[in-house]
Amino acid sequence: MKILVCISNVPDTTSKINFTDNNTKFDTNGVQFVINPNDEFGLTRAMWFKEKQGATVHVATVGGANTEPTIRKALAIGADEAIRVNAEPTDGFFVAQQLAEVVKNGGYDLVIAGRESIDYNGGMVPGIMATILDMNFINTCVNLEIDGDKVTAIREIDGGKEKLSTSLPLVIGGQKGLVEESDLRIPNMRGIMMARQKKLNVVEPIDANAKTVDEKFEKPAPKGAVKLVSADNIDELINLLHNEAKVI
């Protein structure tokens, strides 16, 4: 089985977010980038298939040379090979087209992507890829078992979970639950050293147009001042909740 894990290079959630050029561009100064958490769950599941079933695992991302430390981390975790599409990931449709081309050229049986990235939260890439590739698709996937070309999966739905059966080739949109959080892997020194010897292929993008353009960003409004009320002054608390906060 040949697996492609799609990796998104996203800001660490502890990073302070700012914008430049009149709030039209994201400011990357001082921001540390990491593997998108939903993709990290998928990568760990792919490593399980590699160790238990002998699968070959490749990772791919769309981005400039600045994304290479992130995909090198994926190689250090245990992926066999990496592919970087040398293009700015302008929107989800553009990214999906580039990754679909990687899949076409690589002959992959299983494509694992995160259901969404934690930066723009578009949630569209895996579904668009599956449509372009005419492959089966399961989103919000929290469990995946494969026997030959037969697939059993569980996905989250409103109010519960749904168990599905399908077959390879398959695209999934994975998330937390695909593996336990405690199973996520940290590269060790041996993995880091081996990653330096693994192949990182840089390919040029296909001719494709983005469907959306980011015009402007806006931060959430700052939180208002906190008003403290003495624990003994219940009447004042009720008055504020009723007349000022208007929650009762």
The CATH number linked to 189 is 3.40.50.620
**78 in any annotated domain:** yes
Per-residue confidence in pLDDT tens, the chain, 248 aa: 999 999 999 999 888 889 999 999 989 898 999 999 999 999 999 999 999 999 999 999 999 999 999 999 999 999 999 999 999 999 999 999 999 999 999 999 999 999 999 998 899 999 999 999 999 999 999 999 999 999 999 999 999 999 999 999 999 999 999 999 999 999 999 999 999 999 999 999 999 989 998 899 998 888 888 888 888 899 999 998 999 888 88
Q: Containing domain of residue 142, as a range?
A: 2-217
**230 in any annotated domain:** no
**231 in any annotated domain:** no
Which pLDDT score, from 0 to 100, does residue 96 have?
Answer: 97
Record the pTM: 0.88
Which pLDDT score, from 0 to 100, does residue 120 have?
Answer: 87
Which pLDDT score, from 0 to 100, does residue 6 have?
Answer: 98
Bridge partners, residue 160, by sequence: 157
Which pLDDT score, from 0 to 100, does residue 13 have?
Answer: 87
Domain count, the chain: 1
Which pLDDT score, from 0 to 100, does residue 220 have?
Answer: 86
**242 in any annotated domain:** no
**176 in any annotated domain:** yes
Q: Which of 174, 162, 139, 224 is nearest to 48 (CA)?
A: 174
Report how far residue 175's alpha carbon sits from residue 167's, in angstroms, rounded to the nearest whole number.
20
**233 in any annotated domain:** no
Which pLDDT score, from 0 to 100, does residue 143 have?
Answer: 97
**38 in any annotated domain:** yes
Which pLDDT score, from 0 to 100, does residue 172 have?
Answer: 98
Number of CB atoms found within 10 A of residue 97's CB: 22
Beta strands per DSSP E along 158-247:
160-167, 170-174, 199-203
Which pLDDT score, from 0 to 100, does residue 222 have?
Answer: 85
